[in-house]
Amino acid sequence: MAMRPYWLDATTLVKLVHAEAGSDRVQALVGSNSWFETTWLCVAEAHGVLKRFLLKKQITNDDYHLKLYLLRSWIEEDRIKVRMAWLQTSPIDPHEVKRLGEKYGLDFSDAIQLFEMRKGLLARTTGASEAVFVSSDARLLSAAGAEGFKVWNPETDQDPPR
């Protein structure tokens, strides 16, 4: 059986360490025998969301640091690979990310994820091993779907696409 890779955006990284709608599905997925990728921008964005929870007193300082540690441990243990093809791909059209953002009304952090799926390691996956873009951001999921990627919203979809 082929191992399916998954692209995890910031909303998904938060769900991995913080209980909210879809967290149970994300935790089960990341605990499976699959392969997972994200960007440092998504990791930073997830950190920002967790910090906002702390500042709004939705989590304690201890919970905040525990959640950061848990996220780091998934990365450190190599369960989640952190990629940045935009900095590594050569030759590259430096305006491609900008065009993707303009096409779908996305900011750089979201557009870079579409670029990563198109140009990074996951671009080479096909068939039963085709990558799935995981997010709870409706606009980003719509853009990823329009680009031809398989998508999964763990808040609304029971299971990832097969």
Question: Tens of pLDDT along 125-159?
Answer: 888 888 999 999 999 999 999 999 999 999 999 99
Give yes or no for a contact between 154 and 29, defined as CB atoms under 8 angstroms apart.
Answer: yes
- Say what the pLDDT of residue 1 is: 45
Which pTM value belongs to this model?
0.91
Residue 2 has pLDDT above 80, yes or no: no
Tell me how far CA of residue 114 lies from CA of 6, 29, 119, in angstroms. 13, 21, 9
Residue 90 has pLDDT above 60, yes or no: no
Can you tell me the distance from the alpha carbon of 158 to that of 147, in angstroms, rounded to the nearest whole number?
23
- Say what the pLDDT of residue 21 is: 97
Cβ neighbour number for residue 14 with a 10 Å cutoff: 24
Residue 119: both structure tokens together: 């140009």
User: Residue 39: which H helix or E strand, with range?
Assistant: strand 35-39
Tell me which residue of 105, 118, 100, 99 sits closest to 7, measured CA to CA: 118
Q: What is the pLDDT of residues 12-30, one digit of tens each?
A: 999 999 999 999 999 999 9
- Domain ranges (residues) in the chain: 5-152
Pick from 10-19, 27-36, 91-100: least confident: 91-100
Tell me which residue of 135, 112, 113 sits closest to 26, measured CA to CA: 135
Architecture of domain 5-152: 3-Layer(aba) Sandwich (3.40)
Q: What is the pLDDT of residues 54-68, one digit of tens each?
A: 999 999 999 999 999
> What sign does the dihedral 83-151-12-72 (CA atoms) show?
negative
Mean pLDDT of 28-53: 94
Q: What is the largest CA-CA distance in the chain?
A: 46
> Average pLDDT over the chain, rounded to whole?
91
Residue 91 has pLDDT above 90, yes or no: no
Can you tell me the distance from the alpha carbon of 15 to that of 8, in angstroms, rounded to the nearest whole number?
10
Residue 31 has pLDDT above 50, yes or no: yes
Give yes or no for a contact between 124 and 158, defined as CB atoms under 8 angstroms apart.
Answer: no
Task: State how far Cα 159 lies from the chain centre.
Answer: 16
